[in-house]
Amino acid sequence: MSLRWFLGIAGLAVMSSAFAGDVTGHVVMSGGRDAAQAVVYLEGAVRSKPMAKQMIDQRNREFIPRISVVTIGTTVDFPNNDTVFHNVFAEYQAKRFDLGMYPRGAKKRQIFEKPGLVAMMCSVHSEMSAYMMVVDTPYFAVADRTGRFTIKGVAPGTYTLRVWHESGQIESRPLVVNDQVVSLEVRTNRK
C-alpha cells in the first residue's frame, strides 16, 4: 500500500526567523474518507525527551485512547478501571511484552525505549486493540475524526514527514519548515 501526496505549501503567517512554524494538514483516505486518528510526525535533527508519564486506560473492554503517540523513554501506565480482569500484551520492535492478568484497580507500567509501532491487545478480550507510535521527535499529532491535525512550534529545518494509519498505510516525504505556517493535504491511494 502506498500513499500519494498532494502537497500545497502556503506561507500563511509570516513571522520573524526567531520563531518556529506550524504544520497543519488534512489526511484523506482513498475514496475521499477522512483519515481519522492518523498519526503524523516529523523526523529530523531535533530529538525528543521522555514525556511525563502517559496512560492507556482500560474501561468498558476498550483501551482509551485507542491511538496514541509517545516519545522514546516515556513510561506508560496501564490501569485497569474496568469491571473485569485484563491482560495487556503487545508486539513491539519484534518483541512481545506481556503485563499479565490483573484486576480492577490495579495498574501496570511499561517503558518504551525504542521508536516504532506498538500493537496492543488483551488476551482475555480479543475485541480489545490499540496502537501506540513511539517516536524520537517532539513534533507529532494524532489527526482528529475529520483527519485534520496541527503540529505547533516546529523549529525551522528539513524533516521527514511520516504518516501512519491503522489501515496499514505508511508514507513519508521530505518537508522543509521555515518560519511560516505550512499547510498540506495528504491523499491516500490503495493499490
Lowest mean pLDDT among 76-85, 95-104, 131-140: 95-104
Lowest mean pLDDT among 26-35, 55-64, 80-89, 159-168: 26-35
**DSSP H/E element including 133:** strand 129-135
Strands 86-92 and 95-102: antiparallel
* Res 1 pLDDT > 70: no
Could you tell me which residues are beta bridge partners of residue 82? Answer: none
Tell me what pLDDT residue 129 has: 94
Average pLDDT score over the chain: 84
Higher pLDDT, 189 or 72: 72
Q: How far apart are CA 172 and CA 163, in angstroms?
A: 6
CB 171 within 8 A of CB 43: no
Band (2; pLDDT cuts 50, 70, 90)? very low
- Based on the number of CB atoms within 10 Å of its own CB, is 102 exposed (0-12), middle (13-18) or buried (19 or more)? middle
Tell me what pLDDT residue 81 has: 95
Band (126; pLDDT cuts 50, 70, 90)? confident
Secondary structure letter of residue 146 according to DSSP: T
**How open is the CA angle 50-152-184, to the nearest 5 degrees?**
120
Average pLDDT over residues 55-61: 95
* Res 4 pLDDT > 70: no
Secondary structure letter of residue 72 according to DSSP: T
Q: How far apart are CA 54 and CA 73, in angstroms?
A: 11
Of residues 71, 43, 51, 33, the one with CA closest to residue 163: 43
CB 180 within 8 A of CB 172: no
* Res 116 pLDDT > 60: yes
Tell me: the pLDDT tens digits for 62-83?
Answer: 999 999 999 999 999 999 999 9
Tell me what pLDDT residue 107 has: 96
> How many C-beta atoms lie closer than 10 Å to residue 146's C-beta?
12
Burial 6-39 (b: 16+ CB within 10 A, else e): eeeeeeeeeeeeeebbbbbbbbbbbeeebbbbbb
Higher pLDDT, 158 or 181: 158
Q: How far apart are CA 122 and CA 128, in angstroms?
A: 6
